[in-house]
Amino acid sequence: MAKTKPTKTRRPRAETPRGFRDYFGAEVTERARMLERITEVYARYGFDPLESSAVETVEALGKFLPDVDRPNEGVFAWQDEDEGWLALRYDLTAPLARVYAQHRNELPTPYRRYAVGPVWRNEKPGPGRFRQFYQCDADTVGAASMAADAEICAMLAEALEAAGIARGDYVIRINDRKVLNGVMERAGVLDPADPERDAARRGIVLRAIDKLDRLGREGVRALLGAGRKDESGDFTPGAGLDDAAAEIVMGFLDARREDGAATCARLRELVAGSAVGEEGVAELEQIAELLAAQGLGPDRVVIDPSVVRGLGYYTGPVYEAELTFEILDEKGRKRQFGSVAGGGRYDDLVKRFTGQSVPACGVSVGVDRLLAALRAVGRAGDEAPGPVVVTVMDRARLADYQRMTAELRAAGIRAEMFLGGGAMGKQLKYADRRAAPVAVIEGEDERARGVVQLKDLALGARLAAQIETNEEWKAQPAQIEVPRAELVAEVRRMLARAERG
Amino acid sequence: MAKTKPTKTRRPRAETPRGFRDYFGAEVTERARMLERITEVYARYGFDPLESSAVETVEALGKFLPDVDRPNEGVFAWQDEDEGWLALRYDLTAPLARVYAQHRNELPTPYRRYAVGPVWRNEKPGPGRFRQFYQCDADTVGAASMAADAEICAMLAEALEAAGIARGDYVIRINDRKVLNGVMERAGVLDPADPERDAARRGIVLRAIDKLDRLGREGVRALLGAGRKDESGDFTPGAGLDDAAAEIVMGFLDARREDGAATCARLRELVAGSAVGEEGVAELEQIAELLAAQGLGPDRVVIDPSVVRGLGYYTGPVYEAELTFEILDEKGRKRQFGSVAGGGRYDDLVKRFTGQSVPACGVSVGVDRLLAALRAVGRAGDEAPGPVVVTVMDRARLADYQRMTAELRAAGIRAEMFLGGGAMGKQLKYADRRAAPVAVIEGEDERARGVVQLKDLALGARLAAQIETNEEWKAQPAQIEVPRAELVAEVRRMLARAERG
């Protein structure tokens, strides 16, 4: 028998767990700047920041995931010696409910708060789907008035514009769960006197309309009726509505008219006789009136019954912000950018803690999607400029180079001294990698003559792209010599030119 | 036998797990502003932001806790289906090592990065000791030069001033682990030819001097010799140094002289003949020279061998920032505020991933402590102003009140419409709780006359504190009536007055 090999100490793999990632440089600053612009609007609307603990008891967290597409997704949880099961928050809404229940005696009512931070989902990672990502939420707790919903929608519009989305490039669409309930009554699957009856069929209806984007009208229509066979041959049983009932539901999805008033009139027809349905239409009318009072017209906010995302989760109005400009998808086809934020009214979140129902509504911005949109339209902000790099020709004179660097920094100029080892070629390569606009060079000769060389790397890069002949190249002032005393002033001039260039 | 009681559905407790907390309003914005000022300095020094994943594999995280006081503290960890054991990061240094090892081919070398974010420690919570807290780090990876250490110290000084600590209210003290190693050689507990020998005794010496703050000189001296009996009668065995050897170590702790040159000269005497010790002294001299070149004198940075925190963890220079002004402790006694940041050189962190030693150095700011210090000296920033509150006298005219609110917001004024239910008294109470500077009131009568009432709550609060008689009170313009069209202009005037007040 062969001897067992001696155990080799295994090195740990230098990798994030799958589904997690790191963010570098501009990825961090662009997101921070976007969130700053958004939260500046939230603050102006009277919303206060809240940063709740990232860790909650599993008990407090409960199960309130709004995303009906992924009902099985879980949380990252572990058992604590003293505290029982703990978990990372999976959104910012469940913690808000806990915070409000815990601190309700000290908080103002209504309580307007915004929150920004990472959340964690224990689900299978996929391309572009991460297990840690940012959310940016604003919610009003303790206000039953539709004015709270209208305010959230107006604020969302202003926040999108502050972030860099031009007016006309987005639209906020509003629907109402109560109108759908009215439609369900009219379709015969919701009896106000016995709301438990037909719950299963209503579930099928809800799931069916929630798939409108994916399956189209025909697919939804099939699921409302007998059922639907998909491409693979699998059969999904339908809600079993008769044609008349199914047409009422389909009529709801198609109810959008040329303006809000006409849409509401059409919805009133569809829910006629249903108390909850008429209440829902009245809510939409009130929101439309309040938005108009704030100067938000249909170019920014529309009543649109085809908004179905979240209808299963929210209890009243539902809102969704869509970007309407086109981008190219991975196959090079044009398509609308789509949804970047969504929200609505959810009146029962705090109840599980206190036993009392507390009205609440809010919106969540998809931080990564909005940032991707801003990048797509070139509005994510300028790339952070690289630092001026002070090179080190003579290691014995580090203090002199350090002094130059300090002078530049004191003048507010981003600057570094090269801290590694290596010859000038390596140092200039480093400067390139840092996207340095200028490199400062001072050798023995320059030192003796009281001058420094300034290499305009930004200009050099532009010239390299333009210039065809060697003669042209030499004629360009990509490197100049200036008196040592004029270092700061001259670098400043070069940076100003680089910015204009 | 009694029947078992019917099971009652238990409501979840609305509480953070012990050791975790929420941050509200100014707690969030003050910290964000402080970190923004600090990272602005870091960026000017050429450092790039990095936001690494909060979750790491336990394998990648390893065990690198710098805090020798709490060797048993752990991490929050759980077993993932596919990824094995995962954990929340316990600091920002271990993730940096992983990130650098993972991305070293794409990152510039040297790599300067800063990072800001929460870290988690699975330790027993105590008063003021939380299991989630912020860190703010800056590190340079891949630079062996002392210029990297000097730069970190200069940057730290500038960052503290940018945050709001006045020059003269802080000092950055620098020591060097290699000097201590030289002292160990001279004291006979470190043989360069056989470094494994006496490792246990050196451990005792290290732990002893690390307790200087707590035990004082006498306690440390006892632990260097035979050992020490504490107040409870427990005996801790000492390192067994003879008197001459112990005096060399004590001499190290007492080596600070009137200036850096004199201190270095004294250290040179203490380590004479030890190569590593002399190397350490040379490092301190070089750092002092580079700091002087950047204009940092002994009013901001000093060489001080009594800095012992982290000497067991770091491999070269060690730095610590202390605030020198006095505050009152919980017992009303004056004491120096103390340490708010610390760091040093650690050259072996990346090696466990790659097998190659990579030089690195950095600093970590104690975010909560520095923020507490800024609050103590009144420099944490102004309290965020409360919003102007537009009250609702007539619920049928919500849209009008909403329009006023929108006008104020459009003028850049933080404003809210009252969204709750209740009479004027309750609404003004709400405005008080919101620290509203102004309340806007428009009833039927005002509406008919085209005016609004503006209640100057900021002025009202000041007057309430000053005014003694009712007559004086009535003479004060704490509530004025203005034409509706002048709402925005008049509110703006009142806010300007409140700011001056």
In this predicted structure, what is the pLDDT of residue A478?
84
What lies within 8 Å, CB to CB, of A276 at 6+ separation is A178, A181, A182, A185, A192
Cβ pair A112, A64 in contact under 8 A = no
Query: Would you say the C-alpha torsion B15, B21, B22, B24 has a positive or negative sign?
Result: positive
Query: What rounded mean pLDDT belongs to chain A?
Result: 90
Nearest chain B residue to A11 by CA distance is B353
Residue A308 confidence class, pLDDT cut points 50, 70, 90:
confident
pLDDT in tens, A337-352: 899 999 999 988 889 8
Taking the C-alpha atoms of residue A264 and residue A253, their distance in angstroms, rounded to an integer, is 13
pLDDT of residue A66: 44
Contact state of B420 with A143 under an 8 Å Cβ cutoff: yes
**How many angstroms separate the CA atoms of B183 and B205, rounded?**
11
Q: Return the number of other C-beta atoms located less than 10 Å from residue A286's C-beta.
A: 18
What pLDDT does residue A64 have? Answer: 46
Q: CA-nearest residue of chain B to A75?
A: B80
Cβ density class B389-399: b for 16+ within 10 Å, e for less: bbbbbeeeebb
Task: Tell me the chain B residues in contact with residue A43 when contact means C-beta distances shorter than 8 Å.
Answer: 384, 414
- Chain A CB contacts of B62 under 8 Å are 12
Domains and CATH numbers, chain A: 26-376 (3.30.930.10), 388-500 (3.40.50.800)
Q: What is the mean pLDDT of chain B?
A: 90
Rounded CA separation A261/A169 (Å):
23
State ipTM. 0.89
pLDDT digits (tens, 9 = 90+) for B79-124: 887 888 899 999 999 999 999 999 999 999 999 999 999 999 988 8
Mutate to test the interface with B, among A8, A21, A24 (most CBs of B within 10 A): A24
Residue B248 C-alpha, separation from nearest chain A C-alpha, in angstroms: 33
The angle formed by the CA atoms of residues B217, B218 and B222, to the nearest 5 degrees, is 115
Within 8 A of B44 by CB-CB distance, chain A residues are 409, 412-415
CB contact under 8 A, B24 and A48: yes
pLDDT band per the 50, 70, 90 thresholds, residue A383: low
Hey, which bits of B89-237 come out as E strands? 111-120, 132-141, 170-176, 227-229, 235-237
Q: Do B131 and A295 touch (CB under 8 A)?
A: no
The whole-number pLDDT of residue B63 equals: 63
Would you list which residues of B are annotated within the binding site? 91-93, 121, 135, 139, 309, 313-314
* pLDDT tens, residue by residue, A42-77: 999 999 999 999 999 988 988 644 443 443 458 899
| Residue B474 in this model has a pLDDT that exceeds 70 | no
Q: Which member of A53, A290, A433 has the closest CB to residue B21? A: A53
Which of B9, B10, B48 has the highest number of chain A CBs within 10 A, making it the mutation to test binding with A?
Answer: B48
Partners of A118 on chain B (C-beta within 8 Å) are 54
Count other Cβ atoms within 10 Å, centred on residue A129.
Answer: 12
Contact at CB, A419 and B23, closer than 8 angstroms: no
How close is the nearest chain B Cα to the Cα of A118, in Å?
A: 9
Given B24, B145, B419, which is nearest A147 (Cβ)? B419
Whether residue A108 and residue B414 make contact (CB cut-off 8 A), yes or no, is no
Interface size, chain A vs chain B, as Cβ–Cβ contacts under 8 Å? 275
- The proportion of chain B whose per-residue pLDDT surpasses 90, expressed as a percent, equals 72
C-alpha distances (whole Å) from A431 to each of A435, A451, B110 are: 6, 21, 11
Mark yes or no for CB contact B151/A54 under 8 Å: no
Q: Which of A140, A141, A121, A139 is nearest to A131 (CA)?
A: A121
Q: Are A358 and A142 in contact (CB under 8 A)?
A: yes
Which of A137, A151, A414, A419 to mutate: most B Cβ within 10 Å?
A419
Residues 6+ apart with CB under 8 A from B397: B447
For B251, the token pair is 């001499």
Q: Is the dihedral of CA A202, A206, A207, A213 positive or negative?
A: positive
Per-residue pLDDT for B130 more than 70? yes
| Distance in Å, alpha carbon of A172 to nearest chain B alpha carbon | 18
To the nearest whole Å, the CA of B224 is away from the closest chain A CA by 36
* Chain B residues close to A60, C-beta within 8 Å: 12-15
